[in-house]
A and B are shown apart, each in its own frame.
Chain A
Amino acid sequence: MQILEDSEIIALFRQRSQDAISAAQHKYGALCINMAANLTGSRQDAEECLNDALLRLWDSIPPNMPESLGGYLMTVCRRLALDCRKSKMREKRGSGQAELAFEELAGCIASPDQPEAQFDQRALQSAISAFLDQQPAEARVMFLLRYWSCLSVQEVADECGAGVSKVKMTLLRTRNKLKEHLEQEGYL
């Protein structure tokens, strides 16, 4: 199956063609599944999240017109996966990529002497987002895939066509830069 441009897939949604679902799934399904599976700890739940997300896309386009179909689908899928995760709090969480991602990054964005709760969370979000904008595109993408999507390092490497060691090193450098940036900005 040919991989269509986002604009072409959106056009299919707008003309209510059922091919839109399969085209979006074909292009972004694997990424969404990996993300949702790491958040929910269950491949089956991840599939349900993706299916729900695709159906929501079907319901919302039109009238919505996302400029980045992938970003839109992943955002919806992530929200569903987090909801699913909440509902399964008492269950053991699979491979634990979300916990690992959290533990890795927590050292950069939280200080025991100065709890981040003192800061406006939106300001901190903006600071991180602005920091990422200053980074090389590949490092930014790896960071997002690891800490926003909670993909494993291997999955990030697969997505980026890079080696695991390169991903690890890039993430380490980015985390260190982020910590330095947040210290300069007074968040740490």
Chain B
Amino acid sequence: MNEQDFFDLMSGMSERQIGEAAEWKYKHPAEQDSSSEINAILSQNPLLNPLADTKKTEPHSAAETEAVPQTPPVQSKPQSRFIRHSAVGVAAVAAAFALAIGGLAWKLRSDNPEVSDMTPGISITSTSEAVTSAPAGESLSAAESSTTAPAIGETLPAAVDPDAYSIDQTVTEPDMLTQADDSVQAGEPNFLGGTGSLRTIVNEDFYTILEDDMFWYFNGTMRISKAQRDEHGVAVSELLCQNAGCAHNDPETCLVARCSNANLFGTGDKIFQMSQTVEHNADQFTFSRLFSDGSEHDMCAFMIDRDENDVGSYTYYRSAAVIPELNAVFAELEQCRTLENGSTQSQPIQAVMRLSDNGISFLQLELNLPRERMFGVPVMQSDPESGLIWFLTDSSIMHEKNYGYYYHAKIVTVDPKTGEVVTRLENADILDWFVADGKLYYLEPDDQKLASRICCFDPDNGSESASGNLVSFSCCEGTVYGVKLVSVGKDSIIRFPLGTDLSAAETVTETNNLLASVAEVTDPNRILYLSDSGVAYLHIDGQGDIQLP
């Protein structure tokens, strides 16, 4: 072993372990804080000055440096929540303005087809990770009658222990997921002040963007009109709550307080909400569907089991994705326990909750989902053909010069009915992936040249692959749409029939954006396209020409 081998070997440590080491002294207040030393060093470095806020990063005087506490201040929970909510609010506003520009440009281009360049400066993240795109209310009969694909490779038994969690099953409504009709029809007012049903268009950890016929709504705090402009031609924006003197802290009377605390998320046509993560006064932690008239329907709640001294346990949702075509919800949860000695324990849990006539089934899974998730690359895919959910697990994010980042990962399937976890692929290098017709398609970096391979894994017939040079792809109605890397900063979008044969590929258009990717194709004529310049829907007519909205 030489020194380089040593460095390479140690580079394989997981992000979680590295993060734990980095944060160690902040998680253990007894340790000393030496960050004041580095502040003194780096505050003199001019390189950071252009980015630094001079009001807050000017070099500390000796007195100021000494005043820095040697142990990190322990914030009270309410204070932490306040800061977090404030940050979220500000992030939402930033996202709001960013998307508003895009929205306006989109609208303007719709009205003015001659405008054909992409909108610069928009920066929002993909919705594909947590949002499923299957049509609502789709019949479940196919999924119900299908059989599980034969297991290849390791089979991991799922730990099914419903007794470990206090689930209030009495609040579930089995038909809720398949109910497609909303309570508000077109033209009718919804509870956020616009008209028509509310739809989710962006669903991320820090913000949610909804829309109706009149507005875009940002994290439930503000809205921007789709039609109104001020004297400068800028879209009119306003806070959701217009009550004079409102402190925006009472969910009963203030929309801002209600929505910003609700953790809204959705599937496009339906909106869900889960309770705020740590609210000690709450009676229960609930996952519920939210209708456009503001009514809620609880779907699954975890009961708190703690005494007056907070000793006990509770569970909360960290994220959830509804899979209507499988009548299931995939949830990432956190189970927290407080022991009598005051120490706390926290354990991440993944589970599939499946709704049926008999109520809700809760299946805990043993998945090692990636902590760090990449832009535009899904972690979960559902497959109505086989009735399985595919997950990208056990991953680390790798880097290769030509491709940027990709996953070194394992792909498993989960049967939502039994919780059976089956390993399909191990040690796979994955730039992007999707599941279609019961087969896994993924892009694998080619170490030897500036190209990637498109690979197909068929659980019945094994794998096949072919050369290509795609950096991302997506499938819709039997056609694959991909971004083909021509050279640095130059891409083309191609499409070809589902499979690994690119000989019949046709070029849809050429672009000159960095970090371009096809995020989602839900309509053969509409591609959600992401790049360093922003996000845009590309419209393709039957001849292959392209119109940028």
Contacts and interface: CB of A to CB of B under 8 A. Distances in A.
A161 B25 contact: yes
Contact of B13 (A22, A55, A128): A128
A75 interface: yes
Given A11-B90, A26-B39, A125-B12, A70 B22 contact: yes
A148 B17 CA distance: 10
A120 B205 CA distance: 37
A121 B13 contact: no
Contacts of A84: none
A69 B22 CA distance: 9
Given A11-B91, A25-B48, A161-B31, A144 B8 contact: no
Interface in B305-336: none
B54 to A, nearest CB: 9
B48 A72 contact: no
Interface residues of B, number: 75
Given A18-B51, A144-B17, A1 B123 contact: no
Given A22-B56, A75-B15, A65 B42 contact: no
A147 B18 CA distance: 11
A67 B56 contact: no
B186 to A, nearest CB: 34
Contact of A141 (B20, B42, B52): B20
B128 to A, nearest CB: 12
A11 B371 contact: no
Interface in A1-33: 1-8, 11-12, 14-19, 21-22, 25-31, 33
B12 A106 contact: no
Contacts of B204: 65
A76 to B, nearest CB: 10
Interface string A44-76: 000110110011001000111111111111110
A75 B18 contact: yes
Given A116-B5, A122-B12, A3 B35 contact: yes
A63 B123 contact: yes
Contacts of A106: 1, 6
Contact of A79 (B21, B51, B72, B399): B399
Interface string B6-43: 11111111111111111111101011111101110110
A15 to B, nearest CB: 4
A158 interface: yes
B42 A50 contact: yes
Nearest to B23: A70
A98 interface: yes
B38 A73 contact: no
Interface residues of A, number: 82
Interface stretch (B79-87, B157-165, B413-421): B79-87
B57 A22 contact: yes
Dominant secondary structure at the A interface: helix
A30 B22 CA distance: 10
Contact of A122 (B80, B399, B408): B408
Contacts, number: 227
A45 to B, nearest CB: 13
B87 A12 contact: yes
A110 B460 CA distance: 40
A165 interface: no
A99 interface: yes
Given A3-B35, A125-B13, A19 B56 contact: yes
A4 B16 CA distance: 19
B84 A7 contact: yes
A124 interface: yes
Interface in B130-147: none
Contacts of A55: 51
B47 A140 contact: no
Nearest to A73: B22
B22 A68 contact: yes
Nearest to B64: A1
A58 B51 contact: yes
B53 interface: yes
Nearest to B6: A102
A28 B13 contact: no
B22 A74 contact: yes
Given A132-B17, A159-B25, A67 B371 contact: yes
B18 A148 contact: yes
Contacts of A82: 7
Interface string B49-80: 00111001100100000001000110100001
B117 interface: no
B12 A63 contact: no
A129 interface: yes
Identify which of B10, B31, B57 gathers the most chain A CB atoms within 10 Å of its CB.
Answer: B10
A95 interface: no
A144 B18 contact: yes
A98 B2 CA distance: 12
Interface in A156-183: 158-161
A113 B373 CA distance: 40
Interface in A62-117: 62-75, 78-79, 82, 98-99, 101-102, 105-106, 109-110, 115-117
A27 B32 CA distance: 12
A81 to B, nearest CB: 10
> Considering the complex of A and B, which 9 residue pairs feature the smallest CB-CB distances, nearest first?
A68-B19, A125-B12, A70-B22, A161-B31, A71-B19, A11-B87, A30-B38, A63-B375, A71-B18
Given A5-B80, A33-B42, A70-B22, 19 more contacts: A3-B26, A11-B87, A11-B206, A14-B206, A15-B87, A26-B39, A27-B26, A33-B38, A33-B41, A62-B123, A62-B125, A71-B16, A71-B20, A98-B3, A129-B12, A147-B10, A159-B31, A160-B31, A161-B31
26 contacts: A1-B56, A1-B60, A8-B84, A8-B87, A17-B90, A21-B48, A22-B52, A25-B39, A27-B26, A47-B41, A55-B51, A62-B123, A66-B15, A66-B372, A67-B373, A68-B20, A71-B15, A72-B372, A101-B6, A122-B12, A128-B12, A128-B13, A141-B24, A144-B21, A159-B25, A160-B24
Interface of A: 1-8, 11-12, 14-19, 21-22, 25-31, 33, 47-48, 50-51, 54-55, 58, 62-75, 78-79, 82, 98-99, 101-102, 105-106, 109-110, 115-117, 121-122, 124-126, 128-129, 132-133, 137, 140-141, 144-145, 147-149, 158-161
